[in-house]
A = this chain, B = another copy of it.
Amino acid sequence: MPLTIADHTFSSRLFTGTGKYANHQQMIASILSSGSEMTTLSLRRMDLKSGTDNILKPLQKLGVKLLPNTSGARDAKEAIYAAQLAQEALETNWVKVEIHPDPRYLMPDPIETLKAVEELVRLGFVVMPYIHADPVLCKRLEEVGAQCVMPLGAPIGSNQGLASKPFLDIIIEQSNVPVIVDAGIGAPSHAAAALEAGADAVLVNTAMAVASHPETMGKAFKLAVEAGRMAYESGAGQVQHTAQASSPFTEFLKELS
């Protein structure tokens, strides 16, 4: 069963970002090798005036959906304004809401995020909020019309993986919209673990962008996400606390005699 957000169906469950790459060529090559069908970008990286951005065109041509984000916004008002600018510039009503008043850890603001999502939904946006792995907040965002929730796995850029796992499990169990794990995914194994746990997708940026070979790392994430989803669909075994005894060798010796 593929992943559907709003009216859009994705065959890849790996979303990507455009930040922190050494250069545009590397960014484009990595995203393509990852098989990602949607990549997020902050307003800063768009040439809003000329409309002839050499970043965006190659990606769009190759069928990668652009998802503007409101990174840098410190409150709902700034985020809504950013979404509207992006809508005009990129001709999309999709937006990833990121509101983080503190520039050090870039942790999302639950109050302003809910406010922004509610208003953006009212304005007709397809809204994908980046938030803390807070099960109640996720339900509330779903109730006001968020098309998915994007709880963090760990502090952004930390590469620590699924630090918020016990809370993600609750979110996944309760959610009626897709759950996309965002932030903290530092290795393909983390991405696979998120999918194995039932997350619908992951968003990866730093781990690909800062790898020594981003293009190969993009491919690694592609495979890991597919592996994690397959494992989820195959019904993984449970953790056990004693070995299952297999017949001892002596039995074999008896059989032989």
Binding site for B on A (CB under 8 A): 19-20, 42-44, 48, 70-74, 78, 82, 100-111, 114, 132, 134-137, 139-140, 154-160, 163-167, 170, 174, 186-190, 192-193, 196, 206-207, 210-214, 216-217, 219-224, 226-228, 230-231, 233-252, 255-256
Contacts and interface: CB of A to CB of B under 8 A. Distances in A.
Given A158-B243, A248-B74, A188 B227 contact: yes
9 contacts: A44-B246, A72-B247, A72-B252, A78-B249, A109-B137, A158-B243, A189-B224, A212-B235, A217-B230
Contacts of A243: 104-106, 155-158
Given A74-B249, A107-B135, A134-B110, A220 B228 contact: yes
A223 B212 contact: no
A190 to B, nearest CB: 7
B111 A140 contact: yes
Given A211-B236, A217-B234, A239-B186, A136 B108 contact: yes
B186 A193 contact: no
Contact of A158 (B137, B226, B239): B239
B211 A234 contact: yes
Contacts of A139: 101-102
Contacts of A220: 226-228, 230-231, 234
Interface centre among A73, A170, A236, A245 (most CB of B within 10 A): A236
Contacts of A234: 211-214, 216-217, 220
Contacts of A174: 102
Given A134-B132, A134-B134, A244-B157, A233 B216 contact: yes
A235 B247 contact: no
Interface centre among A42, A136, A240 (most CB of B within 10 A): A136
Nearest to A221: B227
Given A188-B231, A222-B227, 5 more contacts: A74-B249, A82-B249, A216-B234, A217-B236, A223-B224
